[in-house]
């Protein structure tokens, strides 16, 4: 079985516990305005032109985003880091895009990881079929579950999808006793509003199985990728947080009943 992979990143320390290898699967049903990986959104390989500068000269090279890989090719690659997983309590994180978009490949890859006793985390937007989430939850991975915009009309405006589906899936995973870490991209004036933070805190405080909240502050690093892909980047004028602004935003999460950390 083959999946469409757009990157495999080794030695990640922000995608779950310990040292991890993150497998980025291509395809995402969301269109978050701030997406740092716009190359992940299409379900097809894409050819882009990259500009490399050497001295005063610019060279253009073509790059293909997205590579078909078999489950065994992916597992061979991630298994190389097993000593680091063992040392650090790490493992493999399937991310994207949205890994639920390639369900058969994802499930087969999870099963192979577990055969090799490699820990698994799933980094998901939570937008997927409840039956699929239930099936994956039975395998007991850690879910890194993104919460973005709770209000449904704002969610459609900023991410393109219905937040009620995501919220219901989160509640489903919680009811199944799944290990959940909530991840919140902090996007100035979009996800960090008092109203949205209050709604997120209220939701998280109803969960039994969420053990932590990780805040992921906005970084203005994706503009170049959008240009290469020929997509307009609507947030190009949005400034990253100053430390003081970040501290102020973090204070808004003081009502959350589980530990809240800010990822650099």
Neighbours of 98 (CB within 10 A): 23
Residue 96 binds ligand SF4 (CB under 6 A): yes
The per-residue DSSP string of the chain comes to: -EEEEEEEEEEESSSSSSSEEEEEES--S---TT-S-GGGTSSS-EEEEEEEEETTEEEEEEEEE-EEEEHHHHHHHHHTTHHHHHHHT-EEEEESS-GGGSHHHHHHHHHHHHHTT-EEEEEE-S-S-HHHHHHHHTT-PEEEEE----SHHHHHHHHSS-HHHHHHHHHHHHHTT-EEEEEEEE-TTTTSSHHHHHHHHHHHTT-SSEEEEEEEE--S--HHHHHHHT---TTTTPPPPPHHHHHHHHHTTTT-SS-EEE--
Q: Among the candidate windows 2-10, 24-32, 71-79, 186-194, which touches ligand SF4 by CB under 6 A?
A: 24-32
The token pair at 82 is: 């097993």
Q: Which is nearer to ligand SF4, 19 or 166 (CB)?
A: 166
Residue 126 binds ligand SF4 (CB under 6 A): no
The residue within the footprint of ligand SF4, chosen from 30, 108, 121, 186 (CB under 6 A), is 30
Q: Which is nearer to ligand SF4, 120 or 184 (CB)?
A: 184
Give me the least distance between CB of 223 and ligand SF4, in Å please: 15
Give me the least distance between CB of 55 and ligand SF4, in Å please: 35
Q: Which is nearer to ligand SF4, 22 or 41 (CB)?
A: 41
The residue within the footprint of ligand SF4, chosen from 41, 42, 178, 214 (CB under 6 A), is 41
Residue 22 binds ligand SF4 (CB under 6 A): no
Residue 97 binds ligand SF4 (CB under 6 A): yes
Residue 93 binds ligand SF4 (CB under 6 A): no
Q: Among the candidate windows 47-55, 91-99, 169-177, 229-237, which touches ligand SF4 by CB under 6 A?
A: 91-99
Residue 125 binds ligand SF4 (CB under 6 A): yes
- DSSP-derived pairing of the beta strands 2-12 and 20-25: antiparallel
**# of chain residues touching ligand SF4 (CB under 6 A):** 12
Give me the least distance between CB of 96 and ligand SF4, in Å please: 5
User: Given the rule CB under 6 A, which residues bind ligand SF4?
Assistant: 28, 30-32, 35, 37, 40-41, 96-98, 125
């Amino acid at each position: 079985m083959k999946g469409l992979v757009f990157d495999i990143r080794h030695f990640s320390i922000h995608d779950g516990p310990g040292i991890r290898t993150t497998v980025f699967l291509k395809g995402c049903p969301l269109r978050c305005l701030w997406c740092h990986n716009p190359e992940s959104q299409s379900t097809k390989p894409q050819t882009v032109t990259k500009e490399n500068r050497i001295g005063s000269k610019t060279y253009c090279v073509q790059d293909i985003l997205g590579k078909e890989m078999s489950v065994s090719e992916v597992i061979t690659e991630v298994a190389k880091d097993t000593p680091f997983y063992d040392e650090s309590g790490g493992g493999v994180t399937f991310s994207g895009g949205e890994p639920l978009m390639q369900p058969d490949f994802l499930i087969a890859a999870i099963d192979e990881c577990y055969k090799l006793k490699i820990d698994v985390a799933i980094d998901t937007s939570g937008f997927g079929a409840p039956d699929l989430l239930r099936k994956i939850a039975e395998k007991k991975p850690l879910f890194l579950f993104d919460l973005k915009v709770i209000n449904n009309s704002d969610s459609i405006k900023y991410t393109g999808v219905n937040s009620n589906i995501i919220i219901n899936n989160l509640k489903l995973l919680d009811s199944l006793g799944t290990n959940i870490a909530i991840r919140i991209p902090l996007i100035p004036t979009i996800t960090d509003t008092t109203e949205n933070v209050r709604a997120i805190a209220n939701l998280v405080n109803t969960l039994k199985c969420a053990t932590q909240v990780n805040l992921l502050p906005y970084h203005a690093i994706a503009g170049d990728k959008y240009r290469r892909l020929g997509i307009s980047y609507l947030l190009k004028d949005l400034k990253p947080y100053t430390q003081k602004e970040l501290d102020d935003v973090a204070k808004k999460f003081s009502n959350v009943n589980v530990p809240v950390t800010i990822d650099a």
